[in-house]
Amino acid sequence: MSIFKNEIVEKEYCLCYEKSLDMFEMEYKSLYLPTSFGETHVLCFGDSSKQPLLLLHGMTMSSTMWYPNIKQLTQERCVYAVDVMGDFGKSKPTAVIKNKQAAQQWLLEVLNALLFDKVDIAGHSMGGFLALNFSIAYPDRVSKLILYAPAGTFHKISYKFFMKVYPALLFQSEKWVDNAFRWFSGRGEQLTPIFRTQVIAGYRHAKPLLQVMPSVFPIEEFHNFKVSTLLLVGDKEVIYPALKAIAYAKKAIPGLETHLIEGASHSLTMEQAEIVNDLTLQFLRK
């Protein structure tokens, strides 16, 4: 089982992935962790004696999307960027994650393989949905939770999202991929060239196997939810109305810290990396 069409294009994608890693300008370790869903690829940055922070990337982005963030985040944490099983990246699936319970089990096995009793978890978009999904099921395993424009989660996703993303997955052309990511940007900008090359290679040569669809978590699921949580959303968010999502999140999560990031849309971790990094570090230091 593989997300890639064949081994040749998988090697091409992995070469692009490695070139994206050059943008981090940091040393890292590449780990493969056994789980019942396959081998999960994880990038480790920073001092392993520091408290761990797990990062879960947005859909089709892979762990290399964190190149504007990790250097600063390692000031406070040892950062483990996880390639979500079944999505674009270097994880090697042997089974499909089909529902929220399977996603929870997969991430639990990742934490257990890393020998972590308790971690901080942050996620962008689909990664934010998966991070909260896990935290609801296993709150005792999560110290702090950071959500960057989580997909679904607090408000249903706009139909425009599907109109932008699915043509890119279906037609696999640079035009459609560029259109989708320009829409995600508050300023209508394209991805950084090196990272763009990797993303386009993924759309051309791979098909995501992750079958979990991000949805809104009912208020009842937050009964006795006590994980300290930070929510960051761009004021130009396009996949749902930002203020309505924040309002719902405040009702759901007691003591939630929220910030509306000026000038940012769905790609806020890249567009406004300095602000996002600063707010994240302040939250982790509390």
User: Annotated active-site positions, please?
Assistant: 266
Which residues, other chains included, contact 23 with Cβ-Cβ below 8 Å and sequence gap of 6+? 64, 67, 192, 194, 195
At residue 184's C-alpha, the angle toward residues 181 and 185, to 5°, is 95
Backbone angles phi, psi at 2, to 5 degrees: -155, 150
Beta strands at 257-261 and 29-35: parallel, antiparallel or unpaired = unpaired
CA distance 19 to 4: 19
Asked if residues 18 and 64 have their Cβ atoms less than 8 Å apart, the reply is: no
* Count of C-beta atoms within a 10 Å radius of residue 258: 17
CA distance 254 to 252: 7
What tokens does 166 get?
A: 């699915």
- Per-residue DSSP letters for 85-122? TTSSSS-EESS---SHHHHHHHHHHHHHHTT-SSEEEE
Task: Please name which of 123, 213, 133, 97 lies closest in space to residue 166, comparing C-alpha atoms.
Answer: 213
- Annotate 140-196 with three-state secondary structure: HHEEEEEEECCCCECCCCCHHHHHHHHHHHHHCCHHHHHHHHHHHCCCCCCCCHHHH
